[in-house]
Each structure stands twice: as C-alpha cells, then as structure tokens.
Amino acid sequence: MSSPQLAAVLERAQNLGHIGPGELDGYVEHAVSHLSVADPGDGTRWCDLGSGGGLPGLIVAIERPDLKLTLLDRSSTRVEFLEQAVKQLDVVDSVEIVQGDATELAHSELYRGVFDGVFCRSFGPPPVTAECAIGFLRTTGCLVVSEPPEASRRRWPLKSLQTLGFAGVEIFDGPPRFAKLTVAAPPGRDVPRTWKQIAKNPLF
C-alpha cells in the first residue's frame, strides 16, 4: 500500500461495502495494472465509469496527478464517500466527482465526447458497458474494461462494437485481464439508449 491515507480510504470503502472483501493490496495492484493497460497521455481527460469505491479512479489520481479525472456514480452514498476520499487523499484539484445516470450524462454537453479514455471495473455486462461508455469518448479515445480471469473473447463481438463506433477490441490476458476498445467514429445521437431500452434489447 502506497500510503496510510490510501489504506484508510480503501478500508472504509470495504467496510461500507463499496468494494469487495479480500486483501487491499490486491485491489491496488489491479488498479495499477488497469492504468498500465490504459497508458494515458500526459494531461489527458479520463472517466471512471461507475466508480463505486474509487477503483481504479482513486489509484489513478494518486499515480497520475497530471490527468483530469471524473469519477462517475449514480449512488449518492458512493458519491459522498468519493467526495470525502479525494479530500483525504489530497487529489481534489485533479478529480471531479459526478453523481448521475450514465445513460443521461452521456448526452449532456458537459460530458458527451469529451474524454480521452474511460476506465471501467464493474459497471455492467459488455453490451451495457460499451453502449454507455462510447457516449463519453472522443474519437480516437478508448475504453479499458476489467475482465473476468477466464472470460471468452466472444464477450466483445467486433461487428456489434463497430455499429456503436468502436474500431475493435484488444484483449490483455494478464493476469489481471483487460479489454481495450478504441473508438473510430462518434456514436449515433440515440446512443446510449435509456436503461429500459438497453435492458429490453441489448445490442449483443
């Protein structure tokens, strides 16, 4: 663990149920790997989609203070935790905390197509994650998703991803395992759809 402050923040996140059980060092190492696969350019703007307990967002903020980060979550309880965490970790100047529904925020002029990259650890299944994330990404941006250890490559069907505007997907086998999706073109105006539409008719 890189600092007592970080250990205290993650322990509180665990006690509140915002992250799962297990050794905290393992969560930190996973987040560092997530950042390594993303490989953000200097001073770029990134979003942690469904940040929850701040993984990987809080670790990214500590490791890369040059980045402009937005930690997004729909839960007021988790957002309150994140607001306290960024103060405790002294990363307020580089981190924005936003509460809201990703399917709505991705259509806001403040957030649509403005991010160079999106981190995602446990936001939802692949079709949900891909459809929501691309609304936030600028052309040439990328989505970097944490994957289950034994996940099939068929989780990310190329033709379906291309209909959204992604160019393709690269799998990093690790461990830990990640999928990196690059953007080729902006999505249609109706992307992402509402949660009800996504749930009723997932893209793949």
Q: How is 130-156 classified by DSSP, letter by letter? A: HHHHHTTEEEEEEEEEEE-TT--GGGS
Q: What is the CATH number of the domain that holds 27?
A: 3.40.50.150
Q: 73 and 79 in contact (C-beta within 8 Å)?
A: yes
Whether residue 122 is predicted with pLDDT greater than 80 in this model: the reply is yes
pLDDT (0 to 100) of residue 43: 98
Shortest CA distance to 168 belongs to which of 154, 153, 150, 183?
Answer: 183
Whether residue 2 is predicted with pLDDT greater than 80 in this model: the reply is no
The CA distance from 41 to 39, in Å, is 7
Model confidence over 125-145: pLDDT tens digits? 999 999 999 999 999 999 999
Listed in sequence order, the residues at least 6 apart from 135 whose beta carbon sits closer than 8 Å to its beta carbon are 102, 106, 107, 112, 113, 187, 191, 192
The CA distance from 173 to 156, in Å, is 14
pTM: 0.96
Which residue type does 113 have? G
Average confidence (pLDDT) over 61-71: 98
Domain count, the chain: 1
For the chain, the average pLDDT equals 96
Average confidence (pLDDT) over 77-101: 98
Whether residue 1 is predicted with pLDDT greater than 60 in this model: the reply is no
Whether residue 167 is predicted with pLDDT greater than 90 in this model: the reply is yes
Model confidence over 13-61: pLDDT tens digits? 999 999 999 999 999 999 999 999 999 999 999 999 999 999 999 999 9
pLDDT (0 to 100) of residue 150: 85
Pairing of strands 177-183, 137-147: antiparallel
The CA distance from 204 to 198, in Å, is 10
What's the start-to-end Cα distance of the chain, in Å?
39
The CA distance from 27 to 100, in Å, is 25
Domain residue limits at 61: 4-200
Angstrom distances, CA of residue 198 to CA of 7, 103, 120, 175, 194 = 37, 10, 18, 30, 6
Give the model's confidence band at 153: pLDDT under 50 very low, under 70 low, under 90 confident, else very high.
confident
In sequence order, what E strands does the chain have?
A: 45-49, 68-73, 95-99, 115-120, 137-147, 166-172, 177-183
pLDDT (0 to 100) of residue 152: 86
DSSP tally for the chain: helices H, then strands E: 8, 7
